[in-house]
A and B are shown apart, each in its own frame.
Chain A
Amino acid sequence: MVTLGERAGRRAGPAGAKRTPSVLLKYVMAVSGAIMLLYLIAHMIGNLKIFFGAESIDKYAHWLRTIGEPALPEETLLWIIRVVLALALVAHIASAVILTRRAHKARPVKYAYRPPVKGSYAARTMRWGGVIVFLFVVYHLLDLTTGTLNPHGVQGEVHANVVADFAPGRWYVTLFYALAVIAVGFHVRHGLWSGLQTFGRSSAATQHTLQAVALVVAVVLVVGFLSVPFAVLTGLVA
């Protein structure tokens, strides 16, 4: 395919640096995604405290706010985590928006006929799945962090808030929560493996193992997060 010449000099070469390489933006996505994934794992494990009774999880929530006291003011660690997560979220979404725009520009004309061939459901739903997860996070913060949308909504009474939230009469909340958590699972299933590939940690020998690890992490997260609302729904936690 030799059409070299007419446009060759204009573009090639290091001086032609025009935009941040997509590979760099992918590193940003991978690092910010890893930060949020680590938080998610800690969050899921913390949630399981609810199975040890109201006192256990309420005390745990209180402890999170008092780490470092009296040397540090109240909620110091919590706010550090919140700021880091917010920065990671902004970086993750900003890179995703830039990369998505580039992808659309790189394929301006769609195929008239192109059935899905290889791409897993998880890989194909990263973008819209990410939007759904983001909307859920906004709702989730208003529900269980600020208490604004929670029927109980008392700061520090974590157990009571959760039980009121997932009461059988509010099945639609539980349903939305479940769908959002499953969306997180799909996002993690592709995102974790994709991040490892982005950092060059994947090889022909390890690719299938890493994909299996990503699947296991995603399933464990989904089961862990769903165990709480379903325990409330079935009366196991009341």
Chain B
Amino acid sequence: MRLNLRIWRQDGPNDKGKLIGYRVDDADEDMSFLELLDVLNEKLILDGDEPVAFDHDCREGICGACSMVINGQPHGPQKATTTCQLHLRHFHDGETITIEPFRAGAFPVVRDLVVDRGAFDRIIASGGYISAPTGAAPDAHAVPVPKPQADRAFTAAACIGCGACVAACPNGSASLFLGAKITHLGELPQGQPERDSRVVRMVQAHDDEGFGGCTNTGECAVACPKEIPLDVISQLNRDYLHATTTRR
């Protein structure tokens, strides 16, 4: 199949950048979207041009490295799918596809489609962990966790920190990411001792990084490749209210 690509090219953080058109004539519908870019890059290299820079790692939908906004949607049009798991069979022959980097002030463009998502690391470092002495793993079921809580924690823990929620949010907010981490740790017994301080510190870190506020439009939950539900943001708000009204 033949595809026309409009790809955001930007030489570096300070370059203005622009969309440039490319044509790929030998795309196959069984290719993943990243393989399409691989094919394009091979051609660009042979022609002596600069290949398109993009993030990728595991290519099996679990690492959160791949990003990019495809036809206006983070990770493309396929529901619950990362860019690496998106296949060309979801596009039609001759289609023009626009590819842009995730857009957020807190995610500065490094080059082309690569953005610096270090802000997420710093939010995690501010409280997205439990402080536990290391040692041998405890016996399974030594700490009982009720099934509904375990399920909810697991659903939230599915967040791979890719940043699609930020890319989709009209306010550039990372509330879905934040809510996922708060819910994931807050539903489990191990997360309780630091529950209040965690939410206060992570919310502050989130805001200091320059992410916007949540207006509950729900764009994030639709874009999320791991289908993190919107109610984790409600949980985040509830935990924050609890932490700020009971702290001494």
Contact = CB atoms under 8 A, between A and B. Distances in A.
Interface residues of A, number: 55
A26 B214 contact: yes
A200 B237 contact: yes
Given A12-B126, A13-B201, A111-B103, A118 B217 contact: yes
A204 B240 CA distance: 19
B192 interface: no
Interface string A1-35: 11110111001111011110111111100000000
A117 interface: yes
Contacts of A1: 55, 64-65, 116-118, 120-121, 161
B86 interface: no
A227 to B, nearest CB: 30
Contacts of A26: 213-214, 237
Contacts of B72: 111, 113-115, 117
A23 B237 contact: yes
B237 A198 contact: yes
A123 B218 contact: yes
A110 B103 CA distance: 7
Contacts of B201: 12-14
Interface stretch (A67-75, A100-108, A148-156): A100-108
Nearest to A95: B213
B233 A106 contact: no
Contacts of A3: 116-118, 121
Nearest to A6: B118
B168 A123 contact: no
A59 B171 CA distance: 48
Contacts of A124: 170, 217
A38 interface: no
Nearest to B221: A118
16 contacts: A1-B116, A1-B120, A12-B122, A12-B126, A18-B207, A19-B208, A21-B207, A23-B213, A105-B212, A114-B72, A115-B72, A117-B223, A118-B221, A197-B216, A202-B231, A203-B235
Interface of A: 1-4, 6-8, 11-14, 16-19, 21-27, 99, 102-103, 105-115, 117-120, 123-124, 126, 190, 193-194, 197-204, 207
